[in-house]
């Protein structure tokens, strides 16, 4: 094997890469449910080769193929539906307005989704906003009396930068989807012509939270990168920014940095538990847990099959889709996925092809077991099953 075949870390270019686990075929678009079973079964898939960089504490899919993924439409991270999250976003926007005196300024948000956060930033300081998102859906945007915002259904490029002349740029839950984060950040720096007065705010999920929480079913193809605070600071430094602040947020589930074009300095103080040697322990434990869980579920589902039982999965989010795809040899036994979201019902899971059904559907079926994907909803689901008058064996994944 020549040196060109050595896996290199997309953040620090390091070569001390440890393999954590592999999923042979994960749906490329985990969050897309298909209207027809045939389409679902032929949905695109790719391998997840999850690896850990010892030098910078970065977790990434070393087998990610950027040509497979296309975020044209239908990508929807619906975080904004939770009141807890809305409260967090509101406090964050106020903090940014105060800290960087964002009043009467020009703000760009890349990957703005439905524009909720951008609207908060604009309303809090009387700012003018430009929201960029290729999967932007104009009919889902709420209008506002107090904020002036322009939405562009395109990638943010130099062409637009010249027009928008932003004072502040933000992107939340975007960088983990980008195959070459350094290139993205270098290009971005070019669009602001290295102006040091422009502040960048970047937020991503905290990989350390996923590793510690043993969220093994949270791995999805859409995420090329799983940043830790250490690797998030490092990627900005390497791309030619000074990182002026950074921390964990939202109960440790997110991490963020604030940066300006610069010489690669960092003012962020990392705690011991965020250093690569410590993160590595969690990464190894995560890999062990993944292997053990998959083996345990294979045995369990094989036993259910022998006993002639008929399980369903409850929850058609990314956890459910990943679970079904990792254990796809049991696709004949698990025929349905229950989800209370009416937009998901009647649709089909990518590759494994289960139909998503409402809870009431279970009345007409000889279902015996319910496998709950998200333990947070166990109480609610148990109550629903009781209301339906069903006697089912309930377990959480």
Q: Which positions touch Zn ion (CB under 5 A)?
A: 9, 11-12, 14, 53, 55-56, 58
At 317, give phi and psi (nearest 5°): -80, -170
Closest of 265, 282, 264, 168 to residue 228, by C-alpha? 282
Q: Which is nearer to Zn ion, 55 or 340 (CB)?
A: 55
Please identify, using beta-carbon distances, which residue of 58 and 344 lies nearer to Zn ion: 58
Minimum separation from the CB atom of position 18 to Zn ion (A): 11
Residue closer to Zn ion (CB basis): 12 or 372: 12
Q: How far apart are CA 201 and CA 215, in angstroms?
A: 26
For residues 325 and 70, give the distance between their C-alpha atoms in angstroms, rounded to a whole number.
20
Nearest to Zn ion of 22, 280 (CB atom): 280
Residues paired with 27 in a beta bridge: 45
| Structure tokens belonging to residue 101 | 């005196």
CB of 53 to Zn ion, least distance (A): 3
Q: Work out how close the CB of 277 gets to Zn ion at its nearest, in angstroms, rounded to a whole number.
A: 14
- C-alpha to C-alpha distance for 144 and 165, rounded to whole angstroms: 23
Neighbour tally for 103: CB within 10 Å: 11
Is the Cβ of residue 12 or residue 326 nearer to Zn ion in the bound state? Answer: 12
Structure tokens at 219: 């791995």
* Shortest spacing between CB 276 and Zn ion, in angstroms: 8
Cβ-Cβ contacts under 8 Å for 163 (sequence gap 6 or more): none
Burial class for 174, CB neighbours closer than 10 Å (0-12, 13-18, 19+): buried
Least separation, in Å, of the C-beta of 181 and Zn ion? Answer: 11
Name which of 134 and 238 has its Cβ closer to Zn ion.
238
For Zn ion, which is the closer residue by CB, 11 or 149? 11
Indicate the pairing of strand 128-132 with strand 148-152: parallel
Q: Where are the alpha helices (DSSP H) in 192-317?
A: 207-212, 229-238, 276-306
Q: What is the smallest separation between the CB atom of 57 and Zn ion, expressed in angstroms?
A: 7
Q: Which C-beta is closer to Zn ion: that of 49 or that of 311?
A: 49
Minimum CB separation of residue 11 from Zn ion in Å reads 5
Identify which of 54, 55, 58, 61 has the alpha carbon closest to the alpha carbon of residue 21. 61
Tokens of 141: 């945007």
DSSP 101: T
If DSSP codes are grouped into helix, strand and coil, which group holds residue 243? strand
Which residue, 12 or 120, is less far from Zn ion as judged by CB? 12
Q: What does the alpha-carbon distance between residue 320 and residue 54 come to, in Å, rounded to a whole number? A: 30
Where residue 214 falls (left for φ over 0; alpha for ψ -120 to 50; beta otherwise) is left
CB of 358 to Zn ion, least distance (A): 45
Smallest distance, Zn ion to C-beta of residue 234, A: 7
- CA–CA distance, 69 with 186 (Å, rounded to integer): 22
Query: Closest CB to Zn ion among 10 and 315?
Result: 10
Q: What is the distance between the alpha carbons of residues 93 and 118, in angstroms, rounded to a whole number?
A: 8
SS3 at position 9: coil
CB of 222 to Zn ion, least distance (A): 21
Distance CA 30, CA 316 (A): 10
């Amino acid at each position: 094997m020549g040196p060109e075949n050595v896996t290199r870390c997309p953040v620090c270019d390091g070569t001390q890469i440890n393999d954590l686990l592999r999923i042979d075929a994960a749906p490329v678009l985990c969050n897309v449910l298909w209207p027809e079973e045939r389409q679902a079964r032929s949905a695109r898939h790719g391998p997840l080769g999850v690896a850990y960089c010892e030098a910078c504490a970065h977790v990434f899919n070393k087998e990610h193929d950027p040509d497979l993924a296309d975020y044209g439409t239908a990508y929807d991270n619906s975080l904004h539906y939770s009141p807890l999250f809305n409260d967090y976003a509101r406090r964050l926007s106020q903090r940014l307005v105060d800290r960087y005196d964002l009043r009467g300024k020009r703000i760009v948000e890349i990957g703005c989704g439905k524009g909720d956060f951008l609207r908060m930033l604009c309303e809090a300081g009387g700012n003018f906003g430009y929201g960029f998102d290729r999967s932007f859906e104009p009919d889902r945007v709420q209008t506002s009396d107090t904020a002036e915002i322009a939405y562009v259904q395109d990638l943010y490029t130099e062409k637009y930068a010249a027009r928008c002349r932003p004072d502040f740029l933000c992107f939340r839950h975007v960088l983990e989807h980008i195959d070459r984060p350094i290139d993205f950040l270098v290009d971005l720096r070019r669009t602001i012509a290295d102006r040091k007065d422009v502040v960048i705010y970047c937020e991503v999920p905290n990989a350390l939270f996923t590793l510690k929480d043993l969220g093994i079913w949270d791995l999805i193809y859409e995420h090329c990168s799983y940043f830790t605070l250490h690797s998030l600071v490092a990627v900005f430094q390497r791309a030619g920014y000074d990182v002026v602040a950074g921390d964990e947020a939202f109960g440790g589930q997110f991490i963020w940095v604030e940066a300006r074009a610069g010489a690669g300095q960092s003012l962020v103080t990392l705690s011991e538990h965020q250093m690569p040697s410590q993160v590595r322990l969690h990464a190894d434990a995560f890999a062990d847990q993944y292997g053990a869980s998959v083996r345990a579920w294979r045995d369990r589902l094989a036993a259910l099959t022998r006993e002639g039982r008929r399980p369903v999965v409850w929850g058609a989010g990314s956890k459910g889709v990943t679970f079904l795809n990792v254990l796809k040899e049991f696709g004949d036994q698990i025929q349905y996925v229950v989800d209370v979201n009416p937009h998901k019902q009647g649709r089909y899971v990518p590759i494994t092809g289960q139909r998503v059904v409402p809870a009431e559907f279970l009345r007409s079926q000889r279902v015996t077991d319910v496998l709950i994907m998200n333990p947070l909803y166990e109480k609610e689901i148990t109550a629903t099953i009781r209301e339906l008058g069903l006697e089912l064996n309930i377990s959480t994944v």
